[in-house]
Each structure stands twice: as C-alpha cells, then as structure tokens.
C-alpha cells in the first residue's frame, strides 16, 4: 500500500471511528467531523449495545495499530492477571515498544514508530529490538541506535518537531529527547495514558 493510500485510509477510518489517528487525519477531521460516505452527515439511529462496544474496541485497536488477533491476546493476558482487566489491558498495550517510541516523541505516528523498530533503529538496554510488540519493563532504557541518530527522521524528532501533534509526555516516561533516549519509570496507569477509550466497553465486548 502506498503512503498516499495508507494516509487516505487512516483519514476515512478516523472519521468512521470519531477520533484522529494521525496528524493529517486530525486536520481532515476538523474540517469534516462526520462519518465517511454519502450518508456521513445524516443523523444515525441509535446503535445497539453490541455496536457501541464493537466501535469502542475498534477505536482502541486503531490507536495502537494492531490486528484483531493481537488485541485478543492482549485481552487474554489482561484477564489472567489480578486486578481490573481494563487497566491491565491498557497497561499491556501501552508498554509495547512501538507505543512508547511514539509517546516519547521519537515518531509522529504509531506506523512511523513501528517502522523505526522493525528497521532495527531502536535499542532496549543496549540491545537492538526489532519487534514492535516487545514489552518494555519498568526500569528499562530505550534509545535510538548510535548509527541511526544522524538520520533525518531522528534528527527531526530530537529537535522536538513532533511535539506539536503529540500529547504531553506521560508521567511514566523519563524522556531525554535531545539524546533520543527514554526510561519507563513505572507501569502505565489508565488515567495517564493519552488514548480515547471507554475501556470498560472493550472489556464487555470481549467478555460477551
């Protein structure tokens, strides 16, 4: 899929889900804050409980850019752990390496963050990790590989150029952006994670 086609797809998905998934989608969403297609402006009939839960699950999955099979594995892991399943689910998703690379400001979108990982530009505790789904643990340090720091995409990131489109750095990260380095200080708590989601609806969807 070309970059332009991927971008258009993300804009349409953003409008359908009611959230901006990329900076470009945000601009389009501000101009056309309704669903895609010829009936996008029409008032929609009340959605069923199932439809509401399904949409919320889709919103969460889209924000992390993961497949349905990955989402189901995340939910299964969250359910096995003690405590609130919803909180566990968000912590599981948020400690993915690609998600934290985005939160730290090393990338502009989740797709760009995933690409940085897959292309072996990212190290965890001094070792290259090329799996976006790798789970970072509290105390671990993530940084751009020394041989990659001079690349334009990381120089742009180090200058703070992505901060205008990203939320504030969450409290669970200690980021030295100019050094392209961050540490996960603690397990992310739901209230601190910058996503749009009623996670209880997601739990209800998978628990049905």
What is the end-to-end Cα distance of the chain in Å, rounded?
Answer: 35
Closest to 58 measured CA to CA, from 113, 101, 3, 16: 16
Which residues, other chains included, contact 56 with Cβ-Cβ below 8 Å and sequence gap of 6+?
197, 198, 201, 202, 205
Structure confidence by residue, pLDDT tens digits, 69-94: 999 999 999 999 989 999 999 999 99
Name the pTM for this structure: 0.82
Q: Which residue has the tokens 């889209």?
A: 62
More confident residue, 162 or 34: 162
Q: What residue ranges do the domains of the chain occupy? A: 96-188
Environment class of 112 (CB within 10 Å of its CB; exposed 0-12, middle 13-18, buried 19+): middle
Contact 189, 177 (CB under 8 A): no
Structure confidence by residue, pLDDT tens digits, 150-174: 999 999 999 999 988 899 999 999 9
In which band, very low, low, confident or very high, does the pLDDT at 199 lie, cut at 50, 70 and 90?
very high
Classify domain 96-188 at the CATH topology level. 3.10.290
Contact 107, 182 (CB under 8 A): no
Q: What is the pLDDT of residue 39?
A: 46
């Amino acid at each position: 899929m070309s970059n332009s086609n991927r971008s258009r797809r993300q804009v349409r998905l953003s409008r359908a889900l009611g959230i901006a998934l990329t900076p470009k989608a945000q601009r389009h969403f501000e101009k056309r804050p309704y669903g895609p297609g010829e009936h996008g402006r029409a008032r929609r009939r009340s959605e069923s409980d199932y439809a509401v839960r399904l949409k919320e699950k889709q919103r969460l999955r889209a924000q992390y850019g993961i497949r349905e099979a990955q989402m189901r594995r995340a939910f299964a892991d969250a359910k096995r752990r003690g405590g609130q399943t919803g909180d566990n689910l968000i912590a599981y998703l948020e400690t993915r390496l690609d998600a934290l690379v985005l939160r730290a400001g090393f990338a502009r979108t989740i797709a760009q963050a995933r690409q940085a990982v897959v292309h072996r530009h990212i190290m965890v505790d001094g070792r290259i990790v090329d799996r976006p789904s790798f789970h970072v643990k509290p105390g671990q340090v993530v940084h751009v590989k020394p041989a990659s720091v001079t690349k334009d995409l990381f120089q742009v990131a180090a200058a703070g150029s992505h901060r205008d489109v990203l939320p504030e750095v969450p409290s669970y990260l200690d980021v030295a952006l100019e050094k392209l380095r961050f540490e996960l200080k603690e397990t992310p708590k739901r209230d601190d994670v910058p996503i749009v989601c009623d996670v209880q609806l997601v739990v209800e969807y998978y628990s049905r």
